[in-house]
């Protein structure tokens, strides 16, 4: 995993070396092991290297293949060994052991068809010297970032927004995205960012840029596919196949020439990953697998005891971080800067401290559990989706079965059901709650998003796809990438292995929520690996932040907001109430972001 950058000068003049070096240096934290540049014609590529596979100089980038193709690549192709073997049978000869060289050879052989062969996470650009094109591609789910700016003078791309900002005339706020964040509490649901004219390439898409006419087109190479043949699969067969696919996903994500560890919240997903990975790691190295957990200073959100049980049972080398309120306030300005856009809540800071501890523990690659809830129906709202279309008796049956094992009351499950499925009610509540936002700005919100989400509850697969590609996973992936790469750590996500993900989504819901238990496939396959108090626990927390302790300075936050130029421009700050902690945080985060990036309305 690394940092990439690129500049195309539309006037057909050579790109100045200092210009590509400057934007490449902005992401030096993403690649502390080296830098490289490629300049030809009117283009320039930059690269910052974080060495993971083949630590030798053979892995340096940008890498050129057959004097024709040059790549700058961020990510990992987990099945590069298998693809390399296919290419060798076709006569290809390799000079390194890197996945980068495999990408280039695969592109040479199969062109765009190679994208669907890759199992991994990536953002890369390939320059074709003969065709005079640049192909930019992002992995299926957008695990690795790709930002770009396209104006009259330049096409510029990079791993982070800050690399694009020097090519803007001013840092203007993207008002619809900003209002979606404040009023709807959603981010990363489109290809637009908080900065006007800074865009992202959507996961599962590629961009083909012509150096001949300075035009580009974007095409989709992947969409989630449901295997209808699995709709009638027996549970025992499904469970066995799930275990096989999950273990393969783990094994591929343990491929590394540097130290690999795992995040461990104590919840089901991270505990299952830790147990399976630790067993495999010990069988190969005869050493304990490293794990990082966070201990919250508020007991109601503290899962450290569960993490310690997992650590003892799985023989983990457990490292614990316990960030205090002082730690939070001493770091929060830095966290807001590194995220480059406002984020939803302080739990993102908790993940930041986990990555910081991982760095101290000497870990370079870290497994994490993103995607487990979305693929195996871990959230209570999936129970609401199962209720959709059922009669009253059917709804009551589902509620009785699910309420105790989701640790959610029947009343709360009904509330979730009506909140998500009745878009009219939800819109009215939002408009009433956020009436301090000026009317001319509040109308900019993407109100159709609420309708789209409500419609997805008619089909549970449609809801899962929507959350994986639009409403949930994209923001989680962005936050994780920002936090981990700030500390030069590559995170790998076993549940977002596309083959495992499609298998999980194709299974009938009753295999995933069974006898009222969410994520039943994980719980059952934990047997023999972890004790029952982990496998059959009800309460779900994750790396939740101790908001009660961390956000005690609400009066100071409100005072800062009232002085904010951007906050005053879009709302009546005097109507803000410190009792609404989440909204107060979002507005405070917005005010800080506006100041740090000199954002104009």
Catalytic residue among 2, 114, 137, 263: 2
CA-CA distance, 529 to 534, in Å (whole number)?
10
Residue 59, token pair as written in the block: 């892995």
Is the Cβ–Cβ distance between 519 and 511 less than 8 Å?
no
Q: Which residues are annotated as a binding site for ATP?
A: 297
| Residue stretches of the annotated binding site for L-glutamine | 99
The length of the chain in residues reads 601
Closest-CA residue to 263 (of 370, 346, 348, 367): 367
* 54 φ/ψ sector (left φ>0, alpha ψ -120 to 50, else beta): left
Three-class DSSP labels, 298-315: CHHHCCHHHHHHHHHHHC
How far apart, in whole angstroms, are the C-alpha atoms of residue 130 and residue 272?
Answer: 48
List residues bridging with 320 in a β-sheet.
293
Q: Are strands 120-128 and 133-138 parallel, antiparallel or unpaired?
A: antiparallel
- For residues 390 and 426, the answer to whether their CB atoms sit within 8 Å is no
List, in sequence order, every beta strand (DSSP E) within 120-196: 120-128, 133-138, 147-150, 154-158
* CA distance between the termini of the chain: 35
Cα angle vertex 377, ends 454, 290, to 5°? 130
137 assigned to active site? no
The strand pair at 289-294 and 2-9 is best described as: unpaired
Rounded to the nearest 5 percent, the helix, strand and coil shares of the chain are 50, 15, 35
Residues making up the annotated binding site are 99, 297
CA gap 475, 539 in Å, rounded = 23
Q: Which residues are catalytic?
A: 2
């Amino acid at each position: 995993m690394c940092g990439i950058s690129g500049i195309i000068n539309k006037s057909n003049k050579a790109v100045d070396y200092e210009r590509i070096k400057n934007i490449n240096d902005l992401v030096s934290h993403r690649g502390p092991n080296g830098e490289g540049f490629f300049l030809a014609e009117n283009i320039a590529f930059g690269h910052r290297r974080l060495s993971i596979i083949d630590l030798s100089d053979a892995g340096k980038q940008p890498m050129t293949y057959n004097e024709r193709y040059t790549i700058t690549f961020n990510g990992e192709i987990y099945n590069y060994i298998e693809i390399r073997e296919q290419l060798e049978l076709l006569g290809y000869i390799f000079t390194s052991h890197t996945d980068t060289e495999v990408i280039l050879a695969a592109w040479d052989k199969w062109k765009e068809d190679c994208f669907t062969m890759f199992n991994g996470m990536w953002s890369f650009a390939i320059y074709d010297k003969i065709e005079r094109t640049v192909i930019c591609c992002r992995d299926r789910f957008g695990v690795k970032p790709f930002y770009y700016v396209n104006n009259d003078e330049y096409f510029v791309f990079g791993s982070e927004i800050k690399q694009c900002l020097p090519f803007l005339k001013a840092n203007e706020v993207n008002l619809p995205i900003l209002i979606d964040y404040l009023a709807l509490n959603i981010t990363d649901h489109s290809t637009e960012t908080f900065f006007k004219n800074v865009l992202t390439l959507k996961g599962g898409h590629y961009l083909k840029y012509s150096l001949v006419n300075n035009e580009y087109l974007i095409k989709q190479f992947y969409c989630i596919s449901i295997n209808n043949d699995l709709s009638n699969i027996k549970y025992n067969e499904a469970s066995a196949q799930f275990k096989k696919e999950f273990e393969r996903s783990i094994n591929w994500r343990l491929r590394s020439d540097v130290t690999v560890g795992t995040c461990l919240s104590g919840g089901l997903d991270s505990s299952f990953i830790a147990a399976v990975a630790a067993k495999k790691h010990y069988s190969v190295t005869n050493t304990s697998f490293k794990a990082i957990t966070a201990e919250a200073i508020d007991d109601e959100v503290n899962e450290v005891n569960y993490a310690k049980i997992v650590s003892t049972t799985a023989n983990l080398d457990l490292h614990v971080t316990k960030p205090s309120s002082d730690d939070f306030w001493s770091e929060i300005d830095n966290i807001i800067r590194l995220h480059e856009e406002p984020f939803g809540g302080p739990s993102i800071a908790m993940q930041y401290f986990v990555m910081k501890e991982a760095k101290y523990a000497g870990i370079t690659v870290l497994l994490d559990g993103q995607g487990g809830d979305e693929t195996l129906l871990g959230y209570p709202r999936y129970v609401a989706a199962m209720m959709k279309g059922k009669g009253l008796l059917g709804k009551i049956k589902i509620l009785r079965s699910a309420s105790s094992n989701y640790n959610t009351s029947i009343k709360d499950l009904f509330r979730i059901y009506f909140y998500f499925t009745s878009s009219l009610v939800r819109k009215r509540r939002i408009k009433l709650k956020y009436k301090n936002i000026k009317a001319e700005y509040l109308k900019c919100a993407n109100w159709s998003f609420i309708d789209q989400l409500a419609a997805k509850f008619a089909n549970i697969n449609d809801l899962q796809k929507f959350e994986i590609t639009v409403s949930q996973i994209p923001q989680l992936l962005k936050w994780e990438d920002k936090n981990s790469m700030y500390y030069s750590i590559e995170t790998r996500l076993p549940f977002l292995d596309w083959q495992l993900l499609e298998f999980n989504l194709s299974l009938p819901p009753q295999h995933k929520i069974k006898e009222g238990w969410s994520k039943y496939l994980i719980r059952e396959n934990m047997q023999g690996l972890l004790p029952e108090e982990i496998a059959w626990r009800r309460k779900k927390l994750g790396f939740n932040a101790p908001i009660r302790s961390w956000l005690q300075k609400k009066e100071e936050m409100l005072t800062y907001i009232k002085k904010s130029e951007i906050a005053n421009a879009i709302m009546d700050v005097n109507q803000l109430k410190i009792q609404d902690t989440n909204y107060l945080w979002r507005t405070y985060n917005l005010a800080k972001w506006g100041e740090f990036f000199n954002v104009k309305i």
